[in-house]
Amino acid sequence: MIKPINISILVVDDEEIVRESLSAWFEEDGYTVDKAANAVEALNKLNIRRWDIYFIDIKMPGIDGLELMHRIQEIDKEALIIIITAYASVDTAVQALKNGAYDYVTKPFDPDHLSLLVRNAVRQFELSIENKQLKGQIETLAKAPEMIGVSRHWNEIKESIRIVAPTETTVMIRGESGTGKELVAHSIHTQSPRRFAPMVTVNCGAITDTLLESELFGHEKGAFTGALYRRKGKLELADGGTLFLDEIGTIGPKMQIDLLRAIETREFTRLGGNEIIHSDFRILCATNSDLEESVKVGNFREDLYYRLKVFSIIVLPLRQRPEDIPSLALFFLEKYSRTMNKPAMSISAEGLSKLESYYWPGNVRELENTIESALVRAKSHILQPSDFFLSEEPANNRPASLRTMAEIEKQHLQDILEYTHWNISRTARILNLDRVTVYKKLEKFGINRPVNNE
Amino acid sequence: MSTIHLLTSQFPYPKSIKAVVGFIENNFPCSIQNTSGPDDILPGFDQVRYQYDAFQIIRQVNSNLPGLIIVLCDVDLFIPIFTYVFGLATLNGKAAVVSGHRLHNRYYGLPENEAVFNERLTKEILHELGHLCGLRHCPDYSCVMCNSPTVDEIDLKTAVFCPNCYDQLQCCLAPNHPGH
């Protein structure tokens, strides 16, 4: 809701008749009006208060109107200044406009023209206030996205974001696919001074290098076959904001050179164009690949690497921070319950346990999909382990630290049997067990002697 | 529930219409009646510019229809002071026009992408609908009411009204709104 505004006007003119008539006319229209006979009086009054709109005569003894305008602008950059001139002097008017005057008006005034001028000036002022108020409202809209997680690692990431967001530093976010790298980027952007301008995302891995060039730099009409209209590139769109380059490790050698130049100079041309485009953007990038290895083997330029890797944030895979799983699961549960119009849902302790023990190769994205899918299938308001369909991850694909005792025992037994060429007695001696127990374990784990191993 | 008339003319993309209508009806308190007109119905063709005058199209719309009206076409639109427009609506007016012409990837030398086209079309229709409901351009770059003079800026914003704009839109789309 935009608050109504009471406009105040200051009339500065050495002619009393002009001051008095204008003031009376403005007061009839409901404006608050004050007067000054010369620039010095106006500046003295400015020490005490400001006005929204200034009517200033250009020709006054002592400090003239243009100089007064300049001084007012030093005090109040947003002052709306209308110059009064007795001559229809184009040069003076143009100079005033070039120096930032809102408009000019010639004496004697045409009442109709003056009405329109004041109406427009008032509207301009109101728009400026409205803009500020809207920006204040946008402050709440441009708030950082929710960073769900309770692990020490996640809290460290939040602290890193808090530190680096207000700066202009380039940030490289690293982590497996689905860990939340874009979320981190978004959080940095919305906590930065650039939050009122867009964060423009380019998924470098999803586009071929040929298309990526146009995507990043844009192209002019006729730049290539079929290009009937000009297109702005993402670098241009990100002006004033943030450019997020996802999967940066996938871009080809030529693109790396062009990108490095654009990042260093903040200048580029569109494909097929000559005009140099300037764009002021902050860079965030992300990768799930081993960039250091790519640099070593020559697939990624070292200079670009160091240009991008100024500040690193590493996002660990979900399996390495299982304490984040319950809060994430409940967050997604609430999100999808709302969109699916389901009554208050919860997850049983056994269900949570199943989620916490899973490997999550797809990380947070996979967890989100699992919760959504479980909600679709759910037959009651409490999600059970059977509601979660998790892919069977082969035990020996998982690191030993994440296997169950039974899995570890089975694998060890198989290893020893292979070592002893299925000599049960020798296997029993190595494992410090009796033969009967070894046979029982073979039966328990379903381990059969291989056919060719007699 | 408010009714919005979608009058299609010279718009040969039935799947896109279905996608757009489905999205809007699922997310906003309105129902859309889609009527397709004969292909020669569009007025305002300018022989010199080889474009259609958006003002003339809006003026020719039958204002006897209840509810708001959006003319959907695929011809290149202009208004005299601009080289092109994606669409046009009068603030708090009755009718708007939206063209899919400059929303196609192929005109930018890129592979055609139906999903991208549908998304852009949805945003432009919502944007002009917002103007019909009295909404001005929004400074929030993600709001569908953000001014987007190029197709790239259309891609940047979402098909969502920010909370402030949505509040105003809801009032306009209420069944007892005087405009309907």
pLDDT at A4: 41
pLDDT at A2: 36
| Mean pLDDT split into 10-residue runs, chain A, 454 residues | 64 88 75 92 88 91 90 86 78 80 81 75 75 59 77 95 96 95 96 92 90 92 86 91 95 94 94 91 95 93 95 94 94 89 86 91 94 90 90 58 75 87 87 88 83 51
Q: What does the DSSP assignment read for B61-103?
A: S-TTSSSEEEEEE-SPEE-TTSS-BSEEE-TT-SEEEEE-GGG
Three-state DSSP string of chain A: CCCCCCCEEEEECCCHHHHHHHHHHHHHCCCEEEEECCHHHHHHHHCCCCCCEEEEECCCCCCCHHHHHHHHHHHCCCCEEEEEECCCCHHHHHHHHHCCCCEEEECCCCHHHHHHHHHHHHHHHHHHHHHHHHHHHHHHHCCCCCCCCCCHHHHHHHHHHHHHCCCCCCEEEEECCCCCHHHHHHHHHHCCCCCCCCEEEEEHHHCCHHHHHHHHHEECCCCCCCECCCEECHHHHCCCCEEEEECHHHCCHHHHHHHHHHHHHCEEECECCCCEEECCCEEEEEECCCHHHHHHCCCCCHHHHHHHCCEEEEECCHHHCHHHHHHHHHHHHHHHHHHCCCCCCEECHHHHHHHHHCCCCCHHHHHHHHHHHHHHHCCCCEECHHHCCCCCCCHHHCCHHHCCHHHHHHHHHHHHHHHCCCCHHHHHHHHCCCHHHHHHHHHHHCCCCCCCCC
Q: Is B23 left (phi over 0), alpha (psi -120 to 50) or beta?
A: alpha
Please give the C-alpha separations between residue A294 and each of A171, A177, A283, A303, in angstroms, as whole numbers. Answer: 19, 18, 21, 13
User: CB B107 to CB A226 under 8 A?
Assistant: yes
pLDDT at A145: 78
Task: For residue B38, name the pLDDT band (cuts at 50, 70, 90).
Answer: low
Residue range B97-118: average pLDDT?
Answer: 94
What SS3 class is residue B33? strand
Contact B88, B77 (CB under 8 A): yes
DSSP state of B178: T
User: CB B153 to CB A200 under 8 A?
Assistant: no
Query: Phi and psi for A123 in degrees, rounded to 5?
Result: -60, -40
- Which residue is closest to B154 within chain A, CA to CA? A237
User: CB A226 to CB B110 under 8 A?
Assistant: yes
User: CB A237 to CB B152 under 8 A?
Assistant: yes
The answer on pLDDT for B14 being more than 80 is yes
The answer on pLDDT for B92 being more than 60 is yes
Taking the C-alpha atoms of residue A321 and residue A209, their distance in angstroms, rounded to an integer, is 35
pLDDT at B37: 66
Task: Tell me the nearest-neighbour CA distance from A373 into chain B, angstroms.
Answer: 21
Task: Tell me the nearest-neighbour CA distance from B10 into chain A, angstroms.
Answer: 20
Nearest by Cα to A96 from A211, A106, A132 = A106
The Cα diameter of chain A in Å comes to 122
User: CB B139 to CB A134 under 8 A?
Assistant: yes
Task: Tell me the nearest-neighbour CA distance from A309 into chain B, angstroms.
Answer: 26
pLDDT at A1: 34
Chain B residue numbers with beta carbons less than 8 Å from the beta carbon of A236 are: 152
Contact A53, A9 (CB under 8 A): yes
Residue with tokens 């008095």: A20
Beta bridge partners of residue A105, listed in sequence order: A84
A-contacting residues of B 101-120, CB under 8 Å? 102, 106-110
User: CB A229 to CB B110 under 8 A?
Assistant: no
Catalytic residues of B: 128
User: CB B164 to CB A224 under 8 A?
Assistant: no
End-to-end CA distance of chain B: 10
pLDDT at A341: 80
Chain A residue numbers with beta carbons less than 8 Å from the beta carbon of B102 are: 229
pLDDT at B125: 96
Buried b vs exposed e over A197-207: b needs ≥16 C-beta within 10 Å? bbbbbbebbeb
Interface test with A, best of B156, B162, B166 (most A CBs within 10 A): B156
**Which residues contact residue B36 at a Cβ distance below 8 angstroms, ignoring those fewer than 6 apart?**
B7, B8, B9, B11
Token pair, residue A151, equals: 């692990």
pLDDT at A446: 83
The β-bridge relationship of strands B77-78 and B68-73 is unpaired
- Report the C-alpha dihedral over residues B130, B132, B137, B138, rounded to 10 degrees: -30
A272, exposed or middle or buried, with CB in 10 Å at 0-12, 13-18, 19+?
A: middle
User: CB A226 to CB B162 under 8 A?
Assistant: no
User: CB B107 to CB A224 under 8 A?
Assistant: no
Task: For residue B62, name the pLDDT band (cuts at 50, 70, 90).
Answer: confident
Report CA Rg, chain A. 35
Residue range B16-36: average pLDDT?
Answer: 89
User: CB A237 to CB B109 under 8 A?
Assistant: no
pLDDT at A392: 66
A-contacting residues of B 132-171, CB under 8 Å? 138-142, 150-153, 156, 162-164
- Could you say which of B139, B151, B156 has the minimum Cβ distance to residue A138? B139
Chain B residue numbers with beta carbons less than 8 Å from the beta carbon of A227 are: 108-109
- A-to-B residue pairs, Cβ atoms closer than 8 angstroms: 59
Taking the C-alpha atoms of residue A384 and residue A323, their distance in angstroms, rounded to an integer, is 19
- Which residue is closest to A240 within chain B, CA to CA? B141
**Residue scoring higher pLDDT (B167 or A282):** A282
End-to-end CA distance of chain A: 86
Taking the C-alpha atoms of residue A39 and residue A53, their distance in angstroms, rounded to an integer, is 15
User: CB A198 to CB B109 under 8 A?
Assistant: no
Interface test with B, best of A201, A231, A234, A281 (most B CBs within 10 A): A231
Taking the C-alpha atoms of residue A331 and residue A367, their distance in angstroms, rounded to an integer, is 11
Please give the C-alpha separations between residue A146 and each of A143, A214, A329, A356, B175, in angstroms, as whole numbers. Answer: 9, 33, 14, 21, 36
- Could you say which of A197, A225, A232 has the minimum Cβ distance to residue B141? A197
Residue-wise pLDDT tens digits, B131-159 = 999 888 887 888 999 888 889 989 999 99
pLDDT at B61: 85
Chain A residue numbers with beta carbons less than 8 Å from the beta carbon of B139 are: 131, 134-135, 138, 196
Report CA Rg, chain B. 15
pLDDT at A310: 94
Contact A185, A211 (CB under 8 A): no
Taking the C-alpha atoms of residue B116 and residue B105, their distance in angstroms, rounded to an integer, is 8
What SS3 class is residue B36? strand
DSSP state of B12: -
Taking the C-alpha atoms of residue A367 and residue A324, their distance in angstroms, rounded to an integer, is 11
Please give the C-alpha separations between residue A272 and each of A214, A221, A225, B84, B112, in angstroms, as whole numbers. Answer: 10, 8, 11, 21, 21
- Which residue is closest to A224 within chain B, CA to CA? B109
Q: Is B25 on the interface with A (CB under 8 A)?
A: no
Contact B46, B19 (CB under 8 A): no
Interface test with B, best of A133, A138, A139, A230 (most B CBs within 10 A): A138
Q: In what order do the strands lie in the sheet with A282-287?
A: A199-203, A242-246, A282-287, A171-175, A311-315
pLDDT at A345: 87
Please give the C-alpha separations between residue B144 and each of B125, B127, B161, in angstroms, as whole numbers. Answer: 10, 6, 5
ipTM: 0.70
Task: Tell me the nearest-neighbour CA distance from A227 into chain B, angstroms.
Answer: 4
pLDDT at A244: 97
Around B113, how many Cα atoms within 13 Å sit in the side-chain half-sphere?
A: 11
Chain B residue numbers with beta carbons less than 8 Å from the beta carbon of A218 are: 152
